[in-house]
Chain A
Amino acid sequence: MISALFIYSLRGELLIAKHAKSTPHKSMSEIFRIQVINNLDVRSPVLTLGSTTFHHIKSNENLWLVAISRSNADSAAIWEFLYKLNALLSAYSLQTEERLKEDFLVCYELLDVVLEGGVPVETELAQVAAKMSVKPTVPLDKINTISDDLFSGANRIFHRPKQDRSRSSGFSVREQSPTKPSAYPWRPLGIRHKKNEIFLNVNESISILVSRDGSILRSYVDGMVDITTRLSGMPLCRFGLNDSLSVDTPFASETEINASSNSRNKRAIPKAAAGSVFLEDCKFHPCVQLDKFDFDRVITFVPPDGSFELMRYHVRENLNLPFKITPIVTVAGKNSFEFRVTLKSLFPGKLTAKDVQLRIPLPPETVDCEISASNGKCQFDREENALLWKFSKYQGLTENTLSAVTVPMRNSSVNVQQWPRPPMSLKFEILMFSNSGLVVRFFNVAEGERNYNLVKWIKYISKSGAYEVRY
């Protein structure tokens, strides 16, 4: 499928060239450099020349990850693989050009483990780490967790190797005991933890687009539940959501038992949402038994040890919009605009949002802005040609107003009437608030016959996706 894999630096220096199937022409790497890296106007993430196709992504650290295939390969698998590979590279701290140049042999080893004959075979960090001779530098439970500050004190499964350069020379060819087969390929037998803990994060990002007349053109929430587990043995986890199809299913009694443990979290969720949520669609980690979910809407799974993304979902109806933006934009004099924007938080007063930032794009050739804001900090950003109104904290149910008049360049040639007025956008993050109203109703773990002692943490984080208002 993938016949070769290249990694380039930002400037187009070839760092890794892994040929999965017989060696392709040397010029192949040259072609990509010329056609894509040196081409400023790349309008597609895929390039096909002759019967050779390049799928490429660019990592956060500005590396180009490129997969080359010679036939009609499965693009979905290739792109998914490239993203997974990117995550794995970070886990082995090979994500920068410098590190990769230093330790490229580790990268080759990694590629040997994850690819077999050009077909991805294994990309879960825990499984990959078991086969590698080098340990990942990032502990297993750190991968995928968006906010890791919460767990920083916790014990780690993998210790950061203390610069042990000697490990490679000391390590020689030796018998590797084949891991015992377990019924679940993602979970080896005999995992032990002193303390059994489970961290559940409900991450949501809300996107809306409001038109000039205040009607909502589009609104949806993309949610992701990620879990970090430190559980011994072979635990079977079951958890249920207040998803509208499961609310009146027969195990309501179970909910009541568990309700007490959850009550602390429930308080954080506004009453309007306590009803039920209609999940448009959900995607699950492979460990979830999909047929069970299909039958009774309970998410049942034996988790891999460490951190992973359990499910993704999408909600479109009955959303709790956290902020209301009311812009009034008038033309004030020649080529000048007057913005009067009211920002009102609609979430409960007990909660606070952090890092709230409203970005108002300004017409071209604006040189300055007269700003007056009721609270927060508002600045004119010359580089971006936009107003940035920032709050480090924003209390619930609070209204603030911003007034600004743009000062155009003296003999500006641009006609502001023609300015397309790109939408203003808001960024924020709210803890313990759920945009969709999704609540975890119960969560229990069973290991064998006994229910063991367990600490559960649930956290809701609502973030902004594309939260845009036209004016």
Chain B
Amino acid sequence: MSDQRVFTRHKAYEIRAELQQADNKRFKASAARQKNALKKIIANITMGYLNEMASLFPEILKFWSIDDDMEVKMACHQYALAMAPTKSSHFEEALKLIQDDFASSNERLRIMALNTLSSIPRPSYYSACQKCLESVLTRSSESADLKRAALHAILNMDQADKNSARPYVSFLSQIINEQRQFPSVRAHALSVLDALNESHKDLPPMSLSHDTCFNLLELLPELNEWDHTLILNGLTANYVPQTHSESHHLIEVVLPHLQHVNTSVSLAALKLILYLINYVDSIHESIVKRLSSSVVALLNKPSELQFLVLRNVILLLLGRDKPFLQIDVSYFFVEFNDPIYIKDTKLEILYLLAKEDNLRQILQELKDYATDIDIQMSRKAIRAIGNLAVKLENSVDDCINVLLDLLDFGVEYIIQEIISVFRNVMRKYPEQDSETIKRLVAFNDSVQEPESRSAMIWIITQFSRSLPNFLTLFRVFSDNFGEESLEVQFSVLNSSVKFFVRTRSSETEELCLKILKTAVDNADNPDLRERALMYWRLLSLVQQRADSNISLDDIVEIVDGELPLITLNTRLDPAVLEELELNIGSIASIYLKPIGQVFRLNRTMTLPQSPVLNRNRDSLEMIPDTRSSKSSASYSDPISTRSRAGSSPVKKMNDHDKPAETVNHLKMKRRTTIGSSKVTRKPSILSRRISIKRPFT
């Protein structure tokens, strides 16, 4: 091969010399050398030396015209595409060559030519491209591959010039409906039209007729997985059912595709079904179960796909008061070698799934995670326990017990996190017994992080009545007021004022004045200074002017008022939810954010109007399984019975036990603490020995 490595930086003149050299000698070996030089050019473009390589355009053109080799042609096209951003004057010469390529009889070359024509933003290229497009799309003798390329060329042109694609819109819908067209071409036409609609906000929304929709669905058996996705995605929100029965029928048709092995097909089918459910009056419970089991099956994919599916599980769980997913929590237990992003997502799901009946199981899991090696994971698990306490009122005692157990574990970061979490728990349940408080403040000296420090201050302040030594505890924080972080400084300031107005003694007064003075005189942060001043004035208002219309009670009310109970709101805005459900499996579904926020160019999707559209998503009637007819309905029956049987008694490892035929004992008995075992064997071992001779039947 070559003496030089291809993937290194070259100067243009070096390559030019090499090309000319190869050109001079007219014998076999030159072809290989030329090709090697071409490879160097492409490699250098990849490495980013675009400007250096731009000067080789004339040489490229020369090859383009004389060589017939496919590989050379490919390299030439690749070069032209890479040069598209430069305003090289050689493009006009190249145009002729590209058109020649398009006129050749090799299909791959024609596709390449079409692609190049549509991707180079020059008017002359566009007009040439349009001519080619017409010839390809109207002639029925052209192959499916070429037609597909032509369809995507429309999109390419549209990117650079917003008006060039407009004439093709009606033409595209014609292709979609054409029975004689290749199925795959129809699928791609649908997706191209959908993409055009996305980028042209002024086009009327694409609405497909009833016949088109069913025609397209009939194509599915003849298409490969990627085209499946295109059709299922294309139908979502573009076909609007007008009657209940129509949507029921469509759901029936789409259901089997949930079982496709390709995640994108399966999720696209899920999306289409969820969309159609908005247009039905009632839904069979068996369908809901099939949705759930299809999601479960996707969980054994590579971790990236698993992550995507889990994110969508969150979306589905948030979707309705009674979510469509009925999946056993154990699927979301964290595995030891899950990547961190999966662990995080599973935690979130566990939190969402927690209910009274599975709380014990979930708490036990979370407790295990809290002692995980990964610090972040452990912190998140503790957060989740705290959030559970706030979410489920009946669970609070269990959660607090778990947290207190963990506290005894004595690991640094666990303590920090638990103290922070307890603040939230107590905002929700202010009536805590003094025992819990005492156990918490025992860690007064070990809280380090700003968040946990200020949480500790808050706890001391709020429950000072049950803490006789609260001032001593508080001094740990107030003594180094100047060195604390801002968050803690604010807490110290608030608390010192609270102590003062609550119990007015010389001690609290002194403390409060000291803090106020330090904050006003020495604090760098203007916010802190302002707040301290504000308190100062408020307090002096009462003390100086007896006739002022603000009494001490008012101040107590302001400074130390009743705090409202907190609630956790996990629900998404209904409009956002609606949009996300129409985008299952997409990037937005990972972030769970409205599409407009992430992608400015995308059109906001909403459910199209129809006489049968349900406005209230929770009013959907669920028909329980009654009699299983054969086929789809019977499918779900065993799930319900089995899962019930499976969840009630806890399965034990011992249930699977079988007697062993051979038992190998430890050859050398290691020293044990029980000395007597040297002489006599334990009876249990003896009896096993006997049983070996006659195996169990």
Contacts and interface: CB of A to CB of B under 8 A. Distances in A.
B261 A309 contact: yes
B71 A173 contact: no
Nearest to A82: B304
B665 A374 contact: yes
Interface in A1-49: 14-17, 19, 21-23, 26, 29, 43-46, 48
Contacts of A374: 664-667
21 contacts: A14-B47, A15-B7, A15-B46, A19-B119, A22-B119, A72-B599, A77-B226, A79-B263, A83-B302, A104-B43, A109-B74, A119-B152, A121-B184, A215-B653, A216-B653, A281-B259, A285-B261, A295-B631, A316-B328, A370-B670, A415-B410
Contacts of B387: none
Interface of B is mostly: helix
Interface in A221-265: 222, 244-245
A372 B330 contact: no
A80 interface: yes
A76 B307 CA distance: 10
B13 interface: no
Interface stretch (A189-197, A395-403, A439-447, A452-460): A395-403
A344 B316 CA distance: 42
B134 interface: no
What are the 5 tightest A-B residue pairs by CB atom distance, in nearest-first order?
A117-B152, A290-B256, A77-B264, A281-B297, A76-B264
A127 to B, nearest CB: 8
Interface stretch (A147-155, A417-425, A426-434): A417-425
Contacts of A69: 587
Interface in B214-239: 221-230, 233
Contacts of B71: 105, 133, 168, 171
A73 interface: yes
B598 A48 contact: yes
Interface string A89-122: 0000000000001101100110010001111111
Nearest to A314: B297
A344 B598 contact: no
A258 to B, nearest CB: 22
Nearest to A113: B108
Given A174-B106, A346-B656, A79 B84 contact: no
Contact of B81 (A19, A70, A117, A372): A19
B188 interface: yes
A211 to B, nearest CB: 8
Contacts of A399: 660, 662-664
A312 interface: yes
B575 interface: no
Contact of A168 (B35, B184, B372, B653): B35
A288 B32 CA distance: 46
Contacts of B587: 46, 48, 53, 69, 72-73, 75
A374 B662 CA distance: 12
A375 interface: yes
B197 interface: no
B206 interface: no
B646 A44 contact: no
Given A15-B46, A105-B71, A214 B652 contact: yes
Interface in B97-134: 104-109, 111-112, 119, 121
Nearest to A185: B224
A185 to B, nearest CB: 6
Interface of A: 14-17, 19, 21-23, 26, 29, 43-46, 48, 51, 53, 55, 57, 69-77, 79-81, 83, 101-102, 104-105, 108-109, 112, 116-124, 127, 131, 133, 165, 168-169, 171-176, 178, 183-186, 207, 209-211, 214-219, 222, 244-245, 278, 280-286, 289-291, 293-295, 309, 311-314, 316-317, 320-321, 324, 326, 344-346, 349, 370, 372-375, 395-401, 403, 405, 415, 418, 420-423, 425, 466, 468, 470
Given A280-B296, A294-B255, A422 B653 contact: no
Given A175-B106, A245-B638, A295-B631, A79 B664 contact: no
- Interface size of B as a range: 35 or more
A207 B630 CA distance: 32
A79 B304 contact: yes
B650 interface: yes
Contacts of B654: 214
Contacts of B660: 344-345, 397-399
B600 A420 contact: no
Nearest to A375: B664
Contacts of A290: 256-257, 259-260
Interface string B261-275: 111111110000000
A75 B585 contact: yes
Interface in B592-625: 595, 598-602
Given A169-B69, A218-B333, A294-B256, A470 B653 contact: no
Contact of B651 (A118, A216, A314): A216
A453 B666 CA distance: 54
B226 A121 contact: yes
Interface stretch (B153-161, B448-456, B474-482, B553-561): B153-161
Nearest to B295: A281
A286 B106 contact: no
Nearest to B372: A420
Interface string B344-377: 1000000000000000010011001001110000
B590 A75 contact: yes
Interface string B292-310: 0110111010111101100
Nearest to B651: A216
Given A173-B73, A282-B297, A374-B666, A215 B106 contact: no
B586 A74 contact: yes
A209 B368 contact: no
B66 interface: no
B409 interface: yes
A116 B305 CA distance: 23
Nearest to A179: B143
Given A22-B160, A117-B151, 16 more contacts: A76-B263, A76-B268, A108-B42, A109-B74, A117-B156, A117-B192, A175-B105, A214-B654, A217-B361, A280-B639, A283-B294, A284-B259, A286-B225, A295-B631, A314-B297, A397-B660
B85 interface: yes
B336 interface: yes
A241 B44 CA distance: 55
Contacts of A320: 656
B205 interface: no
B259 A51 contact: no
Nearest to A423: B336
Contacts of B69: 168-169, 171-173
Contacts of B598: 48, 51, 72
A132 to B, nearest CB: 9
B321 interface: no
B563 interface: no
Contact of B601 (A51, A122, A295): A51
B668 to A, nearest CB: 6
A312 B658 CA distance: 29
Nearest to B637: A245
Nearest to B270: A76
Nearest to B340: A43
A231 B163 CA distance: 52
B155 A280 contact: no
